Structure 1
Amino acid sequence: MADTYDIIVIGGGPGGYVTAIRAAQLGFRTAVVEREHLGGICLNWGCIPTKALLRSAEIYHYATHAKDYGLVLNGTMSVDTAAVVKRSRGVSAQLNTGVGFLLKKNKVDVIWGEAAIAKPGEIVVKPPAKSVQGAPIPAPKGAKEAGTYQAKHIIIATGARPRVLPGLEPDKKLVWTYFEAMMPEKMPKSLLVVGSGAIGIEFASFYRTMGAEVTVVEVLPQILPVEDAEIADIARKRFEKQGIKIFTGAKVTKLDKAADSVTAHIEDGKGARQTITVERVISAVGVVGNIENLGLEKLGVKTDRGCIVIDGVGRTNVPGIYAIGDVAGPPMLAHKAEHEGVVCVEAIKGHHPHPMDKTMIPGCTYCHPQVASVGLTEAKAKEAGYDVRVGRFPFVGNGKAIALGEPDGLVKTVFDKKTGKLLGAHMVGAEVTELIQGFVIAMNLETTEEELIHAVFPHPTLSEMMHESVMDAYGRAIHI
């Protein structure tokens, strides 16, 4: 009985531990298997520590622009790289400890090691291999050891890892993934970022603010490829104004490594070639699901393009085996993983939750300026056959934005002209990652433009731009 559970979750990242806690709340005897870090990549090497780094960059930016706010800072501003990294790692460590506490509080057992599914209802856990930093990580106090465990329901939440392209293989010294980019021994004077998704743009923004010469290369014609084209174009102009060099419709064909620098060969879509030499390269060309060594092939679990195929509530094609989070496909976001896990265990309990609706999952990029969105872009809405109304409101028309010294940005809304349904919302500018949830809630409540127009937004706030954008879609904007 001691090694038998109702639910075992493989993976202790944000999707895995939230799933395990919700399962325990529902009365299931639950365990989570983890080989390296409670909290997973997001808490330890992704979402959280990068935000700590970006916060340091933000403070540095404001300090070096104090004169813009009527302030004079005496003395020389400089970056203490070791201290910046130490703070970031400390934030992760604090939250890692917190996850362990939450699991213990909810009576979720932690099994320390690497799991494989021997057959439906049974997993075999081996001692953990070396961590991403090269050494085994000690098990948390009270964790169960490797062995064979049974569970009626097995939920795979093994996350994802950086995608590696031929010729761009990371070497931890000159060519980095996000692991190395979060722990630089010193700030590079120049940097090439390959890929302009959220990870690439966040690192480009961080290092540029810290003083590095930054170049971004994106194979697609638009940076931030999943975002609305108009928003991405505004963001690009802001990045370029900051001094970031951006090449779109281009690819890195070759890297020539020297002792302490890299020469990158870049080719655009028309065949034109050029080279740039930088101190470091960050490969940010996406992530790939961790589906290997789980026994999926032997069990006949269906996969597609490196991800496990599931239905709307996390079930695979094999009874008793489920998947959630990055390993179950895009969008590969922590909040998607958490919600997907909750839906999965509530379905197992028989609660009949609403299946995951991926069109209502917000996306945020914490660069400067910030970018946030939910729902369909204007182009995607038109492709889907909607006759649309589009509203826009610029930051420069908002009193709070001007007072903050952040007058650059845009709030954009997309509505179905026929029904007034909010199809999508897209933002670029200060604090938009905190604003987007208002539109997320509105979409989940099936709010129409009429209800949004009649809502009273507080003044003076940035949120007033959300209201004005909606009104602009219907010819009623006041402040433009």
Structure 2
Amino acid sequence: MGAKSFDMIVIGAGPGGYVAAIRGAQLGLKVAIVEREHMGGICLNWGCIPTKAMLRSSEIFHFMHRASEYGLKAEGIGFDLDAVVKRSRGVAKQLNSGVTHLLKKNKVTAFMGEATVTAKGKVSVKTDKGTEALESANIVLATGARARELPGLEADGDLVWTYKHALVPKRMPNKLLVIGSGAIGIEFASFYNTLGAEVTVVEVMDRILPVEDAEISSFAKKAFEKQGMTIREKAMVKQLDRGKGKVTAHIEQGGKVETSEYDTVISAVGIVGNTEGLGLEALGVKVDRTHVVTDPFCRTGVEGVYAIGDLAGAPWLAHKASHEGVMVAELIAGGHPHAVDPDSIAGCTYCHPQVASVGLTEAQAKEQGYEIKVGRFPFIGNGKAIALGEPEGLVKTVFDAKTGALLGAHMIGAEVTELIQGYVVGRQLETTEEDLMQTVFPHPTLSEMMHESVLDAWGRAIHF
């Protein structure tokens, strides 16, 4: 049997890979996709989607406790962790089979197995049934990333968990230590805290959610502390002593090391790219700190080899991977797509309160030499937020004072992960403050705060 020939081979079927495959097929290419575990990758099966399902359960639990504020009665409120997890797994399964269906519908040939690029244009796939030889002039690497493990803090699935263990917990943590306060750490801290765990978050940087605007980080910290979390910034977990049913953590802060006991630890200290076993070294593909080095069009420098998504570097976001997948498919099909601009990609964290942002923070804008105007609007000034019983939050906008260009937008509060897209579209259309000021926002909505924040940057806010 000779090698099976394709116009494009995609390795990895996460939100980067499967989208690239579908777009390639739409453009008339003959496409193969190789996946070693689950269609939909980490995002659908062990990341974005199942975490949102679990966070939704904890959000509803939070509101059940506040029933009386809404003139409602709810007594004997409780939760069944197994049922919460079961719902989350059901949501993931539904989407996983959805991806399988979409690939089939678009006539993409799927191979389940481990792929290695054996030579330029040649891919070998180890499946249950043996080895398949594939060939194509265009190979797209979309193998994603996995949790970074720090020496001495490795997960064991019993006392120390990664995100995977935290998604299918064998017990409800009583005293939980979360190491790392990026989106993943904060989302799990928020989930378990809402269900009643005593949560401590340790962050090595000088603030939690370190990629966000400093004002948003500080607002989040206050909100989490009010909910009973302990936040320790500029702190480091030096070692974990594992005992029977408990872990003693040595935490260094301000030059002092203290020990505290926990029954569960979640490690969320970043990710490393899945570069192993692909044959990258032999091909001459450059890898820098576990991530494949690419140009703005995701080309690796080796002809016909592309890398997209988490494998190709920050920001580590599913929607960035998908967009890159579409771009690469269009490039391969002979099109002229635009490169993906990382500054125009929104980041969303689904803790309670939610956090969302796009573009430059106030500090970054100043560092880049912009003369800026900053607008802010608090949720407490918005009718819809008060009616929802969600008056805590902030919308902040950063503009170039000279041109009126929207440089960045930063939000914390109810439903901001949905609202942020208004500013993302604005940036894509190269909007100025004048365009945004003249836009009519519907009333009563949370989106009106986006209008007011823009007005405030020019001293024109009406409701505050």
Structure 2 residue 47 is the aligned partner of structure 1 residue 60 = no
2:116 aligned partner:
116
Q: Which runs of structure 2 are paired with 1:219-368 in the superposition (5 Å)?
A: 219-268=204-253, 270-368=254-352
Q: Which runs of structure 2 are paired with 1:199-214 in the superposition (5 Å)?
A: 199-214=184-199
1:394 aligned partner:
378
Partner Cα separation in structure 2 for residue 179 and residue 186 of structure 1: 14
Q: Which amino acid aligns with 1:53?
A: M
- SS where residue 115 of structure 2 aligns? strand
1:30 aligned partner:
31
**TM-fit CA distance, 1:245:** 0.2
**TM-fit CA distance, 1:416:** 0.2
1:88 aligned partner:
88
1:471 aligned partner:
455
Q: Size of the alignment, in residue pairs?
A: 463
Q: What TM-score comes out, normalization by structure 1 length?
A: 0.95
Partner Cα separation in structure 2 for residue 206 and residue 116 of structure 1: 38
Structure 2 residue 17 is the aligned partner of structure 1 residue 16 = yes
Q: Which amino acid aligns with 1:412?
A: K
Structure 2 residue 165 is the aligned partner of structure 1 residue 164 = no
**TM-fit CA distance, 1:350:** 2.2
Partner Cα separation in structure 2 for residue 145 and residue 345 of structure 1: 29
Contact 1:420 1:448 in 2 (8 A): yes
Partner Cα separation in structure 2 for residue 438 and residue 145 of structure 1: 49
Partner Cα separation in structure 2 for residue 125 and residue 347 of structure 1: 25
Partner Cα separation in structure 1 for residue 334 and residue 7 of structure 2: 14
Q: Which amino acid aligns with 1:247?
A: R
Partner Cα separation in structure 2 for residue 102 and residue 272 of structure 1: 55
Partner Cα separation in structure 2 for residue 305 and residue 184 of structure 1: 31
Contact 1:111 1:145 in 2 (8 A): no
Unaligned residue ranges in structure 1 (runs of 5+): 129-143
- SS where residue 91 of structure 2 aligns? helix
Partner Cα separation in structure 1 for residue 156 and residue 127 of structure 2: 26
| Cα deviation code 1:241-274 (max 9, x no counterpart) | 0000000000001101111111101001x21121
**TM-fit CA distance, 1:2:** 7.4
**TM-fit CA distance, 1:329:** 0.3
Partner Cα separation in structure 2 for residue 382 and residue 237 of structure 1: 25
Structure 2 residue 175 is the aligned partner of structure 1 residue 174 = no
Contact 1:111 1:146 in 2 (8 A): no
Q: Which amino acid aligns with 1:26?
A: L
- SS where residue 152 of structure 1 aligns? coil
1:5 aligned partner:
6
2:127 aligned partner:
127
1:133 aligned partner:
none
Contact 1:197 1:224 in 2 (8 A): yes
Moved beyond 6 Å, runs of 4+: none
1:40 aligned partner:
41
**TM-fit CA distance, 1:146:** 3.5
- SS where residue 33 of structure 1 aligns? strand
Contact 2:3 2:132 in 1 (8 A): no
Partner Cα separation in structure 1 for residue 50 and residue 130 of structure 2: 29
**TM-fit CA distance, 1:145:** 6.5
Partner Cα separation in structure 2 for residue 100 and residue 334 of structure 1: 18
Partner Cα separation in structure 2 for residue 90 and residue 261 of structure 1: 31
Contact 1:112 1:146 in 2 (8 A): no
Partner Cα separation in structure 1 for residue 268 and residue 257 of structure 2: 21
Partner Cα separation in structure 2 for residue 211 and residue 95 of structure 1: 30
**TM-fit CA distance, 1:55:** 0.4
| Cα deviation code 1:64-117 (max 9, x no counterpart) | 11111111113x111101101100000000000000000000000101100010
Q: Which amino acid aligns with 1:328?
A: A
Partner Cα separation in structure 2 for residue 362 and residue 193 of structure 1: 24
**TM-fit CA distance, 1:127:** 2.8
| Cα deviation code 1:47-75 (max 9, x no counterpart) | 0000000000011111111111111113x
Q: What TM-score comes out, normalization by structure 2 length?
A: 0.99
Partner Cα separation in structure 1 for residue 239 and residue 121 of structure 2: 47
Contact 1:421 1:449 in 2 (8 A): yes
Structure 2 residue 171 is the aligned partner of structure 1 residue 186 = yes
| Cα deviation code 1:141-184 (max 9, x no counterpart) | xxx96311111100000000000001111011100000000011
**TM-fit CA distance, 1:356:** 1.0
Q: Which amino acid aligns with 2:430?
A: E
Q: Which amino acid aligns with 1:121?
A: G
- SS where residue 136 of structure 2 aligns? strand
Contact 2:360 2:408 in 1 (8 A): yes
